[in-house]
Structure 1
Amino acid sequence: MTAPRPPALSKPLELPLTKDDLDNINLYLSPLTPEEILQWALDYLPNLYQTTAFGLTGLVAIDMLSKLTSNPPPLIFLDTLYHFPETYELVEEVKRRYGVDVTVYKPEGCESVEEFERMHGERLWETDEPAYDFAVKVEPARRAYAVLHVQSVITGRRASQGGARASLQPLEVDSTGLLKLNPLFAWNFHLVEWYVAEHRVPRNRLLDAGYKSVGDWHSTVKSGAGDAGERAGRWAGREEKTECGLHVDYFKMKGKAGKAG
């Protein structure tokens, strides 16, 4: 039986949220299915978009939303300029399959790898990885959210991915006030794979070529026999790194005051 909806809810959700409001919402959302969480988001979250790198979980959310509404949240794709060709092919396949528009944001002032490297130097991911993550993901995301007036985003994060995501909640608020919905937070990788196969969801062809998780070509390798973890092969040789950079709270890192509401 579904728990009663928190009294704080309205149409749309009023911001900022208090910590108590957020806790009550997560208490309500936690036992729901991903589809129910997404329907709740469609009903309540203001200025809702989906930020996706077209990983499996994001693709599952795209497919679920296509079945819930004829007007799904717009998609934002952060093009780091270093994606595999197969990833760009997948973007086009998703656009054809679901008839959705994808708004693309690239590093500021850059349309190509050559322009990026003239501005930032070669192999920035090796010389200053935090600066690279900020330039190719965080800054473009912040710019997208400002231009599009985004207040809420759907992510593809799951607790079973481990690392910083192990204690993930259905709904989070970062220090900028952005609402982050994680509809598949409780699913493990096997459930995601089952859904993709059952519903014939488009997927990156590299997953059939020995890759477990696909990011930028320079930091993604095929997973070896016995590799543990569903993100094996990402950030090879940097075991301490568990986040791509987009969901690292740089504002808190810089000592700025965060707010849950």
Structure 2
Amino acid sequence: MKLIKSSQYFLVFSLPLCLNFTDSTFTAQAQSYQPNKTWQISQTFKPPKRGAPPVSAGGSTRGGSCLTGKKLITPLTPPNKLGLTLGERPTFFWHIPESSVKTAKFLLFADNDQTLFYETSFILPKKSGIVSFTLPDSAPALAVNKTYHWYMTIVCNAEDSSENPIVDGWVERIKPELALSEALAKANLRKLPAIYAEAGIWHEALTTLVQLRRTEPNNLKVRLDWREFFKSVNLSAIASNPAI
């Protein structure tokens, strides 16, 4: 695959042409798992004790003319924009405001934004809310202890991408400690979100919490945990929005 910097990639698509989107590796560990903790007490997400992700290389957050009221896309990430995962192909989440455009593009870069690792497009729902995208089986698996830079943009204007709203973030796959693996193997869906949140595993914490919210939409405890989780990462403003 030809190497291309992400900043160059988006510069190319800002030209007024009708185009289509056709090793700094460091060890990351989840914070120590506490097997005797009563997980039902809190749903607060606890970021792992580790450094911040690399400085963004061309990524930004901006509004777009096709978003109602020129509102912004809100990526569902921890405050430092780096989400840890245990999976080969994690799920990503964003809050998307109402828009007349229904096509979004997702790009994933590796090697300090030198390599385009994966790209695809997907259709957005008809109404605003929290949407998700899971890397499909056809996508390459994330390597352990490697950081990837992702971008998501809505195609408001196919000829001039400067009008397209875009957000970015980072994802890193890590290997869980033995105690965490054993706890996850024994837990049911009700306990999984809190275990992941306590361990600082962002993608699985949010994914299982969404699954639980869909499975038990009228469960008051689940709804309170949902709000507590979002509050802990400064996303209270969108906690009341539906997961579509």
TM-score range (shorter-chain normalised) is under 0.3
Higher RCO structure (Cα 8 Å, ≥6 apart): 2
Q: TM-score, normalised by structure 2?
A: 0.24
Q: Going by fraction, where is helix more abundant, 1 or 2?
A: 1
